[in-house]
Structure 1
């Protein structure tokens, strides 16, 4: 059987010169992980270049240029497979141009190292000035631990972590359903521990507090919402368009709501300190959804 080898990275002198310039200037560039496969390619091993079959992330750069990153140069963490990164955008440096085989070999890990050093210098400076929480950063969700419900975000090459309750201002139900690897998020840094190489970030701190918006709505005659839960013990919950899920109440003459009902309601109480708000349902502007009768099919 023929060996599985990688295709050529460039097809013109112009594309080669572009890659050579990026390599010469040690520029950090970006590309999309188009696919992942096991292929034979030259890699560094014990100070020598050897050709062996390894897992490779195949990048597509602007203009159709391809580049190849072996798993050992993808990230500091070891992953069972790189397939979860297909479709994501990653930053890297061009580490080697194999002119004989027309192959560009890149390293995400080394690009992360460059960004990481600059980022830590910046964090140290801001921390000393007590201005750590004032800077806004763009990060990319890199993972999620379902046991601890910790969210992992990569910011400037540094693997940061976020607690579940730093994801949003409102009530958070199934956090795992809201987390998608590769998604870009705006965050602020809450604290750093350089000795332990830890950075805690918050998406919530980077967004406007919806309770501030609620204050502007409390004098309105009616605001729109959607029934998000009807619990026989804990009662009714309403999702407002400001991004908060709040406690709902209803007068006796109003029909019982079901999940999904669009409601008009009025703000009754707001307690910013306790993060608590109650609304009173005053109507169903789109009509009532029918309550599902589990035995109804017997009479159809």
Structure 2
């Protein structure tokens, strides 16, 4: 009798040891599902709040394709639609007509970009949360907000922005400030000559926004970076008064036009070679050879002047025998 009880107890223990451990796996799956549901519910609540308050959100554009999309007249048409990811469990759709104030000619360029959006409609599905958004509405909302801030500050506030584009044909640099594009003309960018090579996308700059044009509920912002900078011409005038020598660099050598020396960032003066000094070459211009200069004359109003080259403190660039000129 005792032996039977012992055998029964051992059998039960062995049975428990070899039973598949589904309990922990089931608990893990249930926990993960519940967490997924909580996140999805939270995002759904956030979508509702954003739609109710017309709050601007952000979405990552993942696909641009044709889809059957409902129109305002109640029918559906095949149109180009941006598929976007908002949060973790929300897929958003934006018709190309609502893809921004300025839509690129090739909408595929939008893929991979994060854009500002306003939620127009949302609902929950078995696959996840679903939303219809407008990038244009999001951009316009931020434009209005920035405009109101500029009016309140009377255009005196200094903004920090990121260089987002460059249009050489329009001599305009684009800077993104608080999600809004601000255009800065070359003439308002710097006291010095603006070169395309000096404009680097992603650079952080400071500027003021001193002009806003409103048309049909949309705003065009114009910025000024030059006002925040000291004119290097002032330093050159001071050097001229003291007759100080200074460092420049050769940026141009031409048989007809002569020598050009950059005396400050973007400011080029005519250069004259000093006595007993080797002639500069095209290679010196290409490699921007450092020179010691003295000012001979300066016209601050027209931003012109002449310098005498006294020395090559670091030596000349390797000479090209076909490019030696006499001046």
Superposed pair shares fold, TM > 0.5: yes
**Does the 8 A contact of 1:220 with 1:266 survive in 2?**
no
For the residues of structure 2 that align with 1:75 and 1:236, how far apart are their CA atoms?
Answer: 48
For the residues of structure 2 that align with 1:36 and 1:184, how far apart are their CA atoms?
Answer: 29
In the TM superposition, 1:201-280 aligns within 5 A as 201-214=223-236, 223-239=246-262, 243-247=265-269, 248-257=271-280, 258-259=284-285, 260-268=287-295, 269=297, 271-280=299-308
Aligned partner of residue 145 in structure 2, secondary structure: helix
CA displacement at 1:207 relative to structure 2: 3.6
**Does the 8 A contact of 1:261 with 1:284 survive in 2?**
no
For the residues of structure 2 that align with 1:208 and 1:87, how far apart are their CA atoms?
Answer: 39
1:116 aligns with 2:136: no
**Which residue does the alignment assign to 1:4?**
none
Specify whether residues 262 and 180 from structure 1 end up closer, same or farther in structure 2 by C-alpha distance, changes over 3 A only: closer
Q: TM-score, normalised by structure 1?
A: 0.68
Q: 2:72 aligns with which of 46, 51, 60?
A: 46
**Does the 8 A contact of 1:246 with 1:279 survive in 2?**
no
Aligned partner of residue 302 in structure 2, secondary structure: coil
CA displacement at 1:85 relative to structure 2: 4.3
For the residues of structure 2 that align with 1:84 and 1:183, how far apart are their CA atoms?
Answer: 21
**Does the 8 A contact of 1:23 with 1:93 survive in 2?**
no
Aligned partner of residue 77 in structure 1, secondary structure: coil
CA displacement at 1:48 relative to structure 2: 4.2
Q: Which runs of 5+ in 1 are unaligned?
A: 1-10, 296-300
**Does the 8 A contact of 1:116 with 1:156 survive in 2?**
no
Q: 2:187 aligns with which of 145, 165, 170?
A: 165
Specify whether residues 16 and 151 from structure 1 end up closer, same or farther in structure 2 by C-alpha distance, changes over 3 A only: farther
1:249-279 residue CA offsets vs partner (Å, 9 max, x unmatched): 3313222332113313235255544334544
Q: TM-score, normalised by structure 2?
A: 0.64
Specify whether residues 145 and 125 from structure 1 end up closer, same or farther in structure 2 by C-alpha distance, changes over 3 A only: same
Q: Which runs of 5+ in 2 are unaligned?
A: 1-35
**Does the 8 A contact of 1:224 with 1:265 survive in 2?**
yes
Larger Rg: 2
Aligned partner of residue 222 in structure 2, secondary structure: strand
Q: 1:194 aligns with which of 188, 204, 214?
A: 214
**Does the 8 A contact of 1:188 with 1:202 survive in 2?**
yes
**Which residue does the alignment assign to 2:6?**
none
For the residues of structure 1 that align with 2:112 and 2:164, how far apart are their CA atoms?
Answer: 13
Task: Indicate the RMSD between aligned Cα atoms, in angstroms.
Answer: 4.1
For the residues of structure 1 that align with 2:178 and 2:203, how far apart are their CA atoms?
Answer: 15
Aligned partner of residue 166 in structure 1, secondary structure: helix
Aligned partner of residue 274 in structure 2, secondary structure: coil
**Which residue does the alignment assign to 1:298?**
none
Total equivalences in the alignment: 275
CA displacement at 1:23 relative to structure 2: 5.1
In the TM superposition, 1:52-63 aligns within 5 A as 52-56=78-82, 58=84
| Higher helix proportion (structure 1 or 2) | 2
Q: 1:91 aligns with which of 116, 137, 158?
A: 116
CA displacement at 1:24 relative to structure 2: 0.9
Q: 2:106 aligns with which of 64, 81, 84?
A: 81
Aligned partner of residue 105 in structure 2, secondary structure: coil
For the residues of structure 1 that align with 2:308 and 2:91, how far apart are their CA atoms?
Answer: 58
Aligned partner of residue 194 in structure 1, secondary structure: strand
Specify whether residues 81 and 231 from structure 1 end up closer, same or farther in structure 2 by C-alpha distance, changes over 3 A only: same
CA displacement at 1:109 relative to structure 2: 1.4
CA displacement at 1:44 relative to structure 2: 5.1
